[in-house]
Amino acid sequence: MEAWNAAYVRVEDYLRAHRIHNRLHQSRLIQAILERAARRHETNPALDPTTLAADEASAAMDEWFSELLGDKNLPPDRMAASGRVAMLLADGPQKWPYAFLDSQNVPEEFVRALRASSIQAGPDMAVSSMVPREIDLGPITGVAGETLERIEKWPIVRTLLLWAAFVATLFGIFYTTR
State if pTM tops 0.85. Answer: no
According to the model, what pLDDT value does residue 170 have?
96
Would you say residue 108 has pLDDT above 70? yes
Question: Whole-number mean pLDDT of the chain?
Answer: 81
By residue range, what is the domain housing residue 149? 142-177
How far is Cα 27 from Cα 154, in angstroms, rounded to an integer? 74
pLDDT > 90 fraction of the chain, expressed in percent and rounded: 8
Same domain? 111 vs 154: no
Same domain? 149 vs 105: no
Q: What is the pLDDT of residues 119-167, one digit of tens each?
A: 555 666 677 788 888 887 788 888 888 887 877 888 888 888 889 999 9
Same domain? 68 vs 32: yes
Count how many domains the chain has: 2
How far is Cα 46 from Cα 49, in angstroms, rounded to an integer? 9
Same domain? 111 vs 147: no
**Residue bearing the bigger pLDDT, 173 or 65:** 173
Mean pLDDT of the region 65-79: 71
Indicate whether 71 belongs to any domain. yes
Pair 100, 93: CB distance under 8 Å: yes
Q: How far is CA 65 from CA 57, 78, 84, in A?
A: 12, 11, 8
**Residue bearing the bigger pLDDT, 119 or 33:** 33
